[in-house]
Chain A
Amino acid sequence: MNIISALCLGTLFGFVLHRVGATNPHLIIDMLRLKDFHLAKAILLGIAFASSLLFIGMATGMIDPGHLSVKSSYWGVPLGGVILGIGWALAGYCPGTAVAALGEGRKDGAVFVLGGLAGAFAYMLVFAKIKNTFLMDKISGGKVTLAQTESSYDALIQGVPGIIVALAFAMVFALIAWKMPKSEES
């Protein structure tokens, strides 16, 4: 059952990444150099849409809050984001889009995946040396959300129902997606 879900959901995700243009490094680079906002608009709307339905689903009992998986906040998160960002701009791929790009025959995507395997291996080797440093120190308690979720995770915004907080953020994201120009020229 789990494997069938993996096959279906993974196929769907690859299909959608390709269809929206995210596997095309040209569109990623043009987003990052603030020239073409097609992907930025799609990503913001995607987060807004998924977040709204997720919190509505949890509030109505349709979605099990136990399925949430909130990652920890620690100093390595923004720092790792910076390192990732440099490579992201250089290549125009992130891990998911490069894997997906293999399915449309992009050779530079395949080389990116090889570089990624080397980078991940390098981290496996240095992890023992950095695991007790400030890099792993938690920020705001670690696994926290902004909105309340009725799960084991603590929420930073108290006294307001989680669905209100989540829908407010989603509306802001959707508004930015809608108002953002498609490209620099238009």
Chain B
Amino acid sequence: MKGQLNWFTGGIALGLAFLLAVWVVKPIGVSTQFVILDGIVWDLVSDDVVKEDPKTKSGYASSNAYLNKSGGKYAKNVANPANYSFIFVLSMIFGTFLSRMTKGPVPTQADQIAPTVWRNRFGDESYKRYLAVFAGGFLVLLGARLAGGCTSGHMMSGMMQTSLSGYLFAFGAFGAAVPMAVILFGRK
């Protein structure tokens, strides 16, 4: 597509982003912040989800076992959304916007609802695409949380550090995604 980097320049740029992050702060990860946003919304509608608790390592505790794990570190981030990881993920949206406004690739109106490969296979109705991506998003984040990370945290950051977990994750993810994509969309 017009405005897109070739694989070599793009690969180097991608590598630089992951390297800079670990150099300055820590490895990039995204999927945890879906939990933090859920926690923030949950905390708005319920009083006892996250509480200050001086007895825990983070100083916060939660009635939810997942937010409470590792000494309440997720609970702490829910209570303080202006933390590094959450702001990092929100800033990504601005980064894409900036790229689009500075001669980066621009998707067509139709592409903004469904990519060509989808429309060729399943047609133009937007509700079908939205149902599929909602289900897809559900599975992706459920799987990412069970795995403890997603493509950026486990695969890119993990394999960069030669972490065993990055390889285990990549085998699982590509092992399922390749046959699934071939079944759904064919090879042609």
Contacts and interface: CB of A to CB of B under 8 A. Distances in A.
B143 A83 contact: yes
Contacts of B185: 29, 33
Contact of B134 (A35, A62, A111, A147): A111
Given A16-B14, A80-B144, A86-B177, A63 B22 contact: yes
Interface string B98-139: 111000111100011111111000000010011011111111
B56 interface: no
Give the interface centre of B21, B129, B163 by most chain A CB atoms within 10 Å: B163
B158 interface: yes
A77 B147 contact: yes
Interface string B64-91: 1111010000000000001111111111
A11 B94 contact: yes
A88 B134 contact: no
Contacts of B94: 10-11, 14, 103
Nearest to A148: B162
B44 interface: no
A14 B92 contact: yes
Given A2-B25, A54-B161, A86 B100 contact: no
Interface string A27-63: 0011011110111011111111111011001000011
Interface string B1-23: 10111011011111111111111
Given A10-B91, A12-B17, A90 B164 contact: no
Interface string A65-95: 0011111111011111111111111111111
B118 A80 contact: no
Main SS class of interface, A: helix
Given A24-B115, A119-B142, A156-B164, A14 B137 contact: no
B54 interface: no
Interface string B154-174: 111111111111111111111
Given A12-B17, A41-B7, A99 B148 contact: no
Given A10-B90, A95-B150, A124 B161 contact: no
A145 to B, nearest CB: 5
A50 B15 contact: yes
A84 B5 CA distance: 27
Contact of B138 (A5, A14, A67, A116): A116
A54 B19 contact: yes
Contacts of B12: 45-46, 49
Contact of B174 (A85, A111, A120, A169): A85
18 contacts: A2-B25, A6-B88, A9-B21, A16-B17, A20-B13, A68-B27, A71-B148, A71-B149, A71-B165, A79-B172, A83-B139, A85-B180, A96-B92, A104-B99, A104-B107, A105-B112, A107-B130, A156-B164
